[in-house]
Amino acid sequence: MGNKPKSKSKSKADRKERRSAELDEISLLNEWIESQKPDSGSNPLALKPLPDNAPVGRLHDGSFSAYSAATKFSELPLSKKTMDALKKAGYVKMTEIQRASLPHALCGRDVLGAAKTGSGKTLAFVIPVVEKLHKERWGPEDGVGSIIISPTRELAGQLFDVLKTVGKFHNFSAGLLIGGRKDVEMEKERVNELNILVCTPGRLLQHMDETPNFECSQLQILVLDEADRILDVGFKKSLNAIVSQLPKHRQTMLFSATQTKSVQDLARLSLKDPEYISVHEKAESATPSRLQQTAMTVPLDQKLDMLWSFVKAHLNSKILVFLSTCKQVKFVYEAFKKLRPGIPLKCLHGRMKQERRINIYSQFCEQRSVLFCTDVAARGLDFNKAVDWVVQADCPDDVASYIHRVGRTARYLSGGRSVLFLTPSEMKMIDKLKAAKVPIQVIKVNGLFLMTEAVLLILFAI
């Protein structure tokens, strides 16, 4: 009993000391960020990287190191909590999109980030979100400080996992708000206490319309991931309704593999002199260099035969097969399942219940199999173990859709292969792809019917 007051006193002193240290760190970070702020419109990738073992932070003469030239996370003005989380997760060197965008994002600028799929865009916006709220000393009573909007439930779930990794040692509360879940009433009770929301547009709007006292008047950062899709016609009404309820004075970041420059889009989001960062705009290819891409003419009545032959020739691969509609996905999946090709088959489409979709996605991440899907799997999803092949059995609607689909393979430092089936009337797509700097090899096959395994192995140079 006698020791209790002493223990409380010590605990209070510890908290006071930690708080003082945190305030000192925030003051130092703000001074560093302000003193070395990159010029607006500048490209950090053009700067000479810091030498190995160069001093970082405040230097002997009282000045600070140039974080615009950083190539490692440890060279950025980040809090110890964020730095510890990145180290624990094994993040050391930055990718190009991270190097180019983080110096601008950390000093509070609006950012339009465009980079190839699999290039590390998620960390490029999650880190500034966590750091902004940390420096503002955001707490439960402050409400929603950041909203990250994703076009699909699966991608939102993936983003939430990255957020939990980066924010591991912070004290923010975060929530995943996506459709198809039964616990919407429980969400309504807790959503007002959350600091960071990762959500799909429909679910966020549902809370804005239905949840008592839910408001975002103190919002600090809005992020749109796969922004081109969210700005598209399908989400236009929802997005306009969401943005109308957000404060205009905020930081806004848009990231995608293919980015908008539409003045109308930027105006409706209230972007202020955004930094347009397209790290691969001058690259020779719009798709990853480790991706081998092939297209072939397949008559419509022989498409399923070709797909069957392809699957039979690649029984030891992980294959993602894109089809145009839910109905086609279900039909091809059921038909092939009855034929028993000798490899596990799965299907994924927008009409499936959320829990089922997440289970299938998780299973495909872990095992060799064929996943038949609609474009619900084309955006941003990162399958843990490399996808060997992306097969587009149906021609995509446009070049952007093609790029997003093939982006499920050859991610980060992995290689990958893709094949696009085109009917004779769809061959104009080849010209569009080449005009968009997509290096694709066209295979012409005459008299195609049921291809033998041997022929397929030669065609695709396995």
Q: Where are the domains of the chain?
A: 23-51+66-278, 291-459
What average pLDDT does range 101-114 have in this prediction?
93
Of the ranges 114-118, 257-261, 322-326, the best mean pLDDT one: 322-326
Return the axis-axis angle of helices 428-435 and 399-406, rounded to nearest 10°.
80
What is the band of 280 on the pLDDT scale with cuts at 50, 70, 90? low
Q: What is the pTM of this model?
A: 0.68
Give the pLDDT mean for 381-405.
82
Lowest mean pLDDT among 215-229, 254-268, 306-320: 254-268
- Give per-residue pLDDT as tens, 322-331: 999 999 999 9
Return the pLDDT at 270: 81
Tokens, residue 32:
């560093």
Query: Quick one: average pLDDT of 126-143?
Result: 93
Structure tokens at 349: 């489409």
For range 55-84, the mean pLDDT: 95
pLDDT of residue 411: 65
- d(CA 112, CA 56) in angstroms, rounded, equals 28
* Average pLDDT over every residue of 50-58: 89
Mean pLDDT of all residues belonging to the chain: 85
Between 404 and 457, residue with greater pLDDT: 404
pLDDT of residue 382: 58
Q: DSSP per residue over 99-114, as a string?
A: HHHHHHHHTT--EEEE
pLDDT digits (tens, 9 = 90+) for 166-195: 999 999 999 999 876 566 777 888 888 899
Predicted local confidence at residue 458, as pLDDT: 46
pLDDT the model gives residue 277: 85
Specify whether the backbone of 285 is left (phi greater than 0), alpha (psi in -120 to 50) or beta. beta
Q: Choose from 228-242, 347-361, 427-441 the range with maximum mean pLDDT.
A: 427-441
Least confident of 15-29, 168-182, 210-224, 387-401: 168-182
What's the pLDDT at 2?
41
Report pLDDT for 449.
Answer: 41
Task: Work out the end-to-end distance of the chain between its first and last CA atoms, rounded to an integer number of angstroms.
Answer: 75
Please indicate whether residue 261 or residue 66 has the higher confidence score (pLDDT). 66
Q: Looking at domain 23-51+66-278, which of 1.10.10.10, 3.40.50.300, 1.10.220.110, 3.40.50.12280 is its CATH number?
A: 3.40.50.300
Whether 378 has a pLDDT exceeding 50, the answer reads yes
Residue 455 in this model has a pLDDT that exceeds 90: no
Examine the pLDDT at 301 and tell me if it is beyond 60.
yes
- Return the pLDDT at 7: 61
Whether the predicted pLDDT of 454 surpasses 60: no
Q: What is the pLDDT of residue 4?
A: 46
3-state secondary structure (DSSP) of residue 243: helix
Find which of 42-51, 90-99, 149-158 is predicted with most confidence, using mean pLDDT. 90-99
Task: Give residue 182's pLDDT.
Answer: 60
Q: What percent of the chain has pLDDT over 70?
A: 86
Q: Which of 369, 378, 315 minimizes the C-alpha distance to 347?
A: 369
Domains 23-51+66-278 and 291-459 share a fold: yes
CATH 3.40.50.720 at 291-459, yes or no: no
Write down the pLDDT at residue 65: 94
Could you report the per-residue pLDDT of 400-440, keeping only the tens digit for each?
Answer: 889 888 888 876 656 789 999 999 999 999 999 988 888 89
Mean pLDDT (whole number) for 99-116 = 91
So what's the pLDDT on residue 166?
A: 97
Tell me: pLDDT of 63 over 90.
yes
Tell me the mean pLDDT in the region 52-59.
Answer: 90
Burial class (CB in 10 A: 0-12, 13-18, 19+), 152: buried
Pairing outcome for strands 291-297 and 345-348: unpaired
Rounded to 10 degrees, the C-alpha dihedral 362/363/367/368 comes to -110
Among the residue ranges 182-186, 254-258, 450-454, 456-460, the one predicted with the least confidence is: 450-454
Q: Report the distance separating Cα 442 and Cα 350, nearest Å.
A: 31
